[in-house]
Structure 1
Amino acid sequence: HDLMPSVVGHPGAFVVVGMAGFFSVVSNAPISTIIFVSEMTNSYHLLLPSLLVCSLGYLLSRRWTIYVKQVRTRMDSAAHRGDFFVDVLGAIKVRDLMQYLREVERIPEQMPFEDFKRVFSSSQQHYFPVVGSDGRLTGIFSINDIREVLFDPGISDVVIMKDIANPEIISTSPSEDLNEVLKKFTIRNIQALPVVKDDDPAHLLGMLDRREVIQYYNQRVEEMKSNGDSRQERSAKEA
């Protein structure tokens, strides 16, 4: 500055930009550093040069950091895992899992309980949707609902499946996101939900299993991690 005052008019500006660049390099946090330094100096006049220096330094030195336990992305952070979990589930719709819907045997509501026991003996289902004569969904029940009376001979000929089915159906639809679906699974501690049409809650499309939802979520997270790693590798090569 003493030799060429016209070239370096304000040496303090170079100090601030250099400070921002240095800390963004050692911390691998360029955006936070830019905001931090701007707030500390109470000025945003050096925002553009700081952005240039911090971005360049970050691209050239991402392999090194003073935070040896710093994770690479929010997906790997325990502090943000809950937020990320909700964000991912909210972005996935039931329609994305339509190929995982299970077609199940539908029980006529007028079927005698004795006839159902024969159906049950050869079935692997846990939940049984009950339909009317027109094939529309009118109720649902699980094997837990009938476990106590399954071998009671006194009701076999006097009870029909309409008497057993629960008409208050907890269902989902193709437009609903998986965050809401998991809430329904959790509230009633159920393992499968009937999926119905968006505009017709009595039109059954199939059953969605809780395990399929969790498996699909894990698959999407792994894909996002792989895509993130690929982008980082490409950026490193370009740098």
Structure 2
Amino acid sequence: MKFNKTFSTFLIWRIRHISTRNFLIILSGVIGLLGGVAAVLLKSTVHYIQHTLSDFREDVAHYLFLIYPLIGIVITSIVADKLLKEKLGHGITSILYTISKKSSIITWVKTYSSMVTSAITVGFGGSVGLEAPIVVTGSAIGSNIGQLMHLSYKQRTLMIGCGAAAAISGIFNSPVAGVIFSIEVILTDVTIAAFIPLLIASVIGSLVSMLTLGPDVLFSFDLKDPFLASDFPYFLVLGVLCGLVSVYFTRLTQYTESIAVKIKSKTGRAVFGGLALGIIIFVFHPIYGEGYDSITTILNGNPEALLKESFFLKNQDSTLYLILFSLGILLIKPIATGLTLGAGGSGGIFAPSLFIGAITGYIYSQTINFLGIGKTLSISNFTLVGMCGVMSGVLHAPLTAIFLIAEITSGYTLFLPLMLVSAIGLSTSRYFEQYSFYTGRLIKAGDLITNDKDRQVLSLIKIEKLIENDLLTIHPEKTLGDLVALVRKSKRNIFPVVNEKGELQGIITLDDIREIMFDPASQKSVIVAALMHKPPATVSTSDKMEEVMTKFEKTGAWNLPVIKDDKYLGIMSKSRIFSAYRTKLKRQNKE
């Protein structure tokens, strides 16, 4: 009680002495600090778990990898279900849904739940990434601080963006990519004023990771080979290839996940997914965890080490075997990611998209060099640019992909091919997949609306709050006289006809009875069922507001009855929707 009083005093003091703009800048710094700490904590925890689990003799460790994913997914499922009471899913997708449909209000438990579950999943070998969980954590920190400080919807959304920027910046040590990711993926309506808080949060998140973990938060690479303009034709082909691979990854991952989810029992789902993933990792060990170690191995010019990790091919050193093994990894990785997510694991597809992009670039350049087609290509350069191309195609975030790889390589030597492959990869991907991995399901379900102000405002209006239930109803077996008695009492000119079960049978308006309502004979002989007519359409409480407006437009009606489980609830009027729309629009403009 004392704290609440003190905090209220602080908020009043803040309003009087600190402008909202400056206060948001201060909060962005706090969110950046907390987001950076969360990124460092999560990455350090996962590294510790993986180091502990791999600290066995090589012959023993290979067999242990068969059961590690199973253990991790089962523990994750139990922790999420029994302790955290959380439903796991695609983290960034849930953030976008929260911004679109829940006024940017994220529950407090999200500030730590994704960190706990993803640390277990990835630490034990789940084939997903940590970026989405840490973005959820940073976004939840931003939202909860916004709620605590009584910020408006737009200000809370900006704080969510700051948390996301700090998280990406902290985990990759890439402040520019952090800001761009927040703008491209999380925030759909950004003003110039929003850049300053985003920049501050991202910079502080990066500084935290640099001070605690140094420059190699995930991985970094100093370019060794120069960019040659003569490589451009090869990069053009790589761009198309990356686009096709991104479509393959997106569709197969989602399909595999949907197959796993069909198993009704959570325990059965976890066991099935964990065992299947363990077998995949036993055969293709580089798929274990995020895969950044394998990317680093390729970039450092030692791709042969990938075969050394294979139980079956560790004694092979042929380039052909290496290409075929890498192709197997590329083809099976989406299945591993889908199994991890569908079985109940926690993680994202950010890292898998980078991993499969690196493999794509490596296979492409190594195959051309092996076959002697044209000139010799730089494997490291094409591996890095491949990461950019596939990430751009999967996430539909080309600028994030470009600047992330540029910052990882500590320079802009590859900027031109990065731009080219990112653009071609995205264009190719969009030809087959209109929406990104994050937004596809939401947009198709009508739960995410971008670049359409009218639809955005309509999506915020709840049908339940607009139902008018002050209309007097009448039974279909009643007489016209009974109806006339209701007319005297009612202030409305519509009378729903409802049976004893509460089901809507039809409607009657004053126009339907105007000519006979005062005829004594008709009042006694005519029953309501003979006067009523079917409404031109009905509204369900499960309809989206956009669907409701479509029904009004098609029928030309101004009032439509609302039905739930075949029961009559009330009337929805177009005029009341317009009033609610104006109110929402004014509120958003003020915010």
Which bracket does the TM-score occupy, shorter chain normalised?
0.5 to 0.7
Alpha-carbon deviation of 1:108?
0.7
- Contact persistence 1:126–1:142 (CA under 8 A): yes
2:561 partner SS: strand
Q: 1:191 aligns with which of 558, 563, 566?
A: 558
Please tell me whether residue 85 in structure 1 is matched to residue 454 in structure 2. Answer: yes
The one-letter code matched in structure 2 to 1:206 is: G
Alpha-carbon deviation of 1:164?
1.0
Which runs of structure 2 are paired with 1:116-195 in the superposition (5 Å)?
Answer: 116-168=483-535, 170-195=537-562
1:157 partner SS: helix
- RMSD, aligned α-carbons: 2.9
Alpha-carbon deviation of 1:190?
2.5
1:157–1:47: structure 2 CA closer, same or farther, 3 Å change rule? same
> TM-score, normalization: structure 1?
0.53
Alpha-carbon deviation of 1:123?
0.9
- Contact persistence 1:140–1:169 (CA under 8 A): no
Task: Show CA shifts across 1:108-138 (max 9, x none).
Answer: 1111001211111121122111111323211
Alpha-carbon deviation of 1:167?
3.3
The one-letter code matched in structure 2 to 1:215 is: S
Measured in 2, the distance between the counterparts of 1:114 and 1:139 equals: 18
1:168–1:210: structure 2 CA closer, same or farther, 3 Å change rule? closer
- Contact persistence 1:92–1:177 (CA under 8 A): no
- Contact persistence 1:141–1:164 (CA under 8 A): yes
Measured in 2, the distance between the counterparts of 1:44 and 1:143 equals: 72
Q: 2:582 aligns with which of 218, 223, 227?
A: 218
Measured in 1, the distance between the counterparts of 2:571 and 2:454 equals: 23
Q: Identity of paired residues, percent? A: 26
Q: 1:101 aligns with which of 445, 467, 475?
A: 467
2:497 partner SS: strand
- Contact persistence 2:472–2:486 (CA under 8 A): no
Alpha-carbon deviation of 1:165?
1.2
The one-letter code matched in structure 2 to 1:184 is: K
1:122–1:168: structure 2 CA closer, same or farther, 3 Å change rule? closer
- Contact persistence 1:174–1:195 (CA under 8 A): yes
Please tell me whether residue 45 in structure 1 is matched to residue 416 in structure 2. Answer: yes
- Contact persistence 1:113–1:157 (CA under 8 A): yes
> TM-score, normalization: structure 2?
0.23
- Contact persistence 1:113–1:160 (CA under 8 A): yes
Measured in 1, the distance between the counterparts of 2:520 and 2:465 equals: 40
1:107–1:122: structure 2 CA closer, same or farther, 3 Å change rule? same
1:106 partner SS: coil
Q: Report the structure, 1 or 2, having the larger strand content.
A: 1
Alpha-carbon deviation of 1:154?
4.2
- Contact persistence 2:539–2:562 (CA under 8 A): yes
Q: Which runs of 5+ in 1 are unaligned?
A: 1-27, 29-34, 36-42, 49-81, 228-239
Match of 1:209 in 2: 573
Moved beyond 4 Å, runs of 4+: none
- Contact persistence 1:106–1:129 (CA under 8 A): yes
The one-letter code matched in structure 2 to 1:219 is: T
Measured in 2, the distance between the counterparts of 1:185 and 1:150 equals: 29
1:108 partner SS: coil
Task: Show CA shifts across 1:43-97 (max 9, x none).
Answer: 963999xxxxxxxxxxxxxxxxxxxxxxxxxxxxxxxxx95324432x245xx14
Task: Show CA shifts across 1:16-63 (max 9, x none).
Answer: xxxxxxxxxxxx9xxxxxx9xxxxxxx963999xxxxxxxxxxxxxxx
Alpha-carbon deviation of 1:168?
4.8
Task: Show CA shifts across 1:150-189 (max 9, x none).
Answer: 2344422221111111135621112212222223223333
2:522 partner SS: coil
Please tell me whether residue 114 in structure 1 is matched to residue 490 in structure 2. Answer: no
- Contact persistence 1:110–1:161 (CA under 8 A): yes
- Contact persistence 1:117–1:150 (CA under 8 A): yes
1:107 partner SS: coil
1:45 partner SS: helix
Match of 1:19 in 2: none
Alpha-carbon deviation of 1:141?
1.9
Measured in 2, the distance between the counterparts of 1:187 and 1:86 equals: 18
Alpha-carbon deviation of 1:145?
2.1
Number of positions where the alignment pairs a residue of Structure 1 with one of Structure 2: 148
1:44–1:148: structure 2 CA closer, same or farther, 3 Å change rule? farther
RCO comparison, higher one (Cα < 8 Å, 6+) = 1
1:167 partner SS: coil
Q: Report the structure, 1 or 2, having the larger helix content.
A: 2
Measured in 2, the distance between the counterparts of 1:163 and 1:215 equals: 35
Measured in 2, the distance between the counterparts of 1:168 and 1:192 equals: 9
Q: Which runs of 5+ in 2 are unaligned?
A: 1-191, 193-398, 400-413, 420-450
1:100–1:141: structure 2 CA closer, same or farther, 3 Å change rule? same
Match of 1:21 in 2: none
